[in-house]
């Protein structure tokens, strides 16, 4: 699901040969380690027993001033979008951040991913800053959105 969602989400933003090189086996191993570690929270959305989306979050990872919590990732397959699953995944991730004793949240998104940026803006995310990010063979810009209080997230 992770690889499939990357291939559709980032088509046109990242080189196609890079997207095709992504390995489901590699990501499965990575997710096993993340879940076993227990320091973050991972949530999935299902449709007829099939995982169609996921979100993960935990403590902010890069030392961003003013934020202790971070929504690390949220992806929903194209075929399952616009059904409210993204909002429900964010709601679950926010609950997980609260379980960890965190009161705020930041998320990073590619600058050119206009659909995701609009989603975070509808949720009440406020622009924080932009920075370069290297993904595979390319360097792009990513934008962060923040919520100073988790109560400010608008579902």
What's the distance, Cα to Cα, between the start and end of the chain in Å?
Answer: 24
What is the distance between the alpha carbons of residues 41 and 109, in angstroms, rounded to a whole number?
A: 19
State residue 50's pLDDT score: 94
How far out from the chain centre does Cα 71 lie?
6
The per-residue pLDDT for range 126-144, each reduced to its tens digit, is 999 999 999 999 999 999 9
Tokens of 87: 């909002």
Q: Give the pTM.
A: 0.94
Q: Is 144 exposed, middle or buried (0-12, 13-18, 19+ CB in 10 A)?
A: buried
The per-residue pLDDT for range 3-14, each reduced to its tens digit, is 999 999 999 999
The per-residue pLDDT for range 50-106, each reduced to its tens digit, is 999 999 999 999 999 999 999 999 999 999 999 999 999 999 999 999 999 999 999
What is the distance between the alpha carbons of residues 138 and 18, in angstroms, rounded to a whole number?
A: 10
How far out from the chain centre does Cα 79 lie?
18
Q: Give the residues across from 124 on adjacent strands.
A: none
Q: What are phi and psi of 91, to 5 degrees?
A: -55, -45
Q: What is the CATH number of domain 2-152?
A: 3.40.630.30
Tokens of 90: 């964010």
State residue 56's pLDDT score: 97
């Amino acid at each position: 699901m992770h690889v499939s969602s990357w291939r559709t989400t980032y088509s046109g933003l990242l080189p196609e040969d890079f997207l095709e090189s992504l390995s489901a086996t590699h990501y499965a191993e990575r997710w096993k380690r993340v879940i076993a570690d227990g320091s973050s929270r991972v949530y999935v959305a299902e449709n007829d027993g099939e995982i169609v989306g996921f979100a993960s979050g935990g403590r902010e990872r890069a030392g961003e001033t003013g934020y202790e919590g971070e929504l690390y990732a949220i992806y929903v397959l194209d075929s399952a979008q616009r059904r409210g699953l993204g909002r429900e995944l964010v709601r679950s991730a926010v609950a997980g951040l609260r379980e960890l004793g965190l009161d705020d949240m930041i998320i990073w998104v590619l600058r050119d991913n206009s659909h995701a940026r609009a989603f975070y803006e509808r949720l009440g995310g406020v622009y924080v800053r932009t920075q370069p990010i290297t993904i595979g063979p390319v360097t792009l810009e990513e934008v962060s959105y923040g919520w100073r209080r988790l109560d400010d997230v608008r579902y």
